[in-house]
Amino acid sequence: MSEPTEERRRLRVVVADDQAAVREPLAAVLGLAEDIDVVAAAADGTEVLAAVAAGPVDVVLMDLRMPVMDGIETTRRLGEQYPQVAVVVLTTFADDDSILGALGAGARGYLTKNAGRKDITRAIRAAAAGQSVLDREVQDRLLATVRNTAAAPQAPVPGSALPEDLTRREREVLALIGQGLPNRGIAEKLFVSEATVKTHINNLFAKAGIPDRAAAVRRAIEAGLA
Rounded Cα distance, 61 and 91, in Å: 10
Count of other CB atoms within 10 angstroms of residue 26: 22
pLDDT tens-digit map of 84-125: 999 999 988 877 778 888 888 888 889 988 888 888 999 999
Statement: residue 3 has pLDDT above 90: no
Predicted pLDDT of residue 149? 55
Predicted pLDDT of residue 181? 78
The pTM assigned to this predicted structure is: 0.64
Share of the chain above pLDDT 90, in %: 36
Predicted pLDDT of residue 156? 44
Statement: residue 142 has pLDDT above 80: no
Predicted pLDDT of residue 158? 46
3-state class (DSSP) for residue 153: coil
What order do you get walking across the sheet with 36-42 strand by strand? 36-42, 11-16, 59-62, 86-91, 109-112, 133-134
pLDDT tens-digit map of 33-63: 889 999 999 999 999 999 999 989 999 999 9
pLDDT tens-digit map of 150-192: 554 444 444 457 888 889 999 999 988 887 777 888 888 888 8
Q: Higher model confidence: residue 108 or residue 7? A: 108
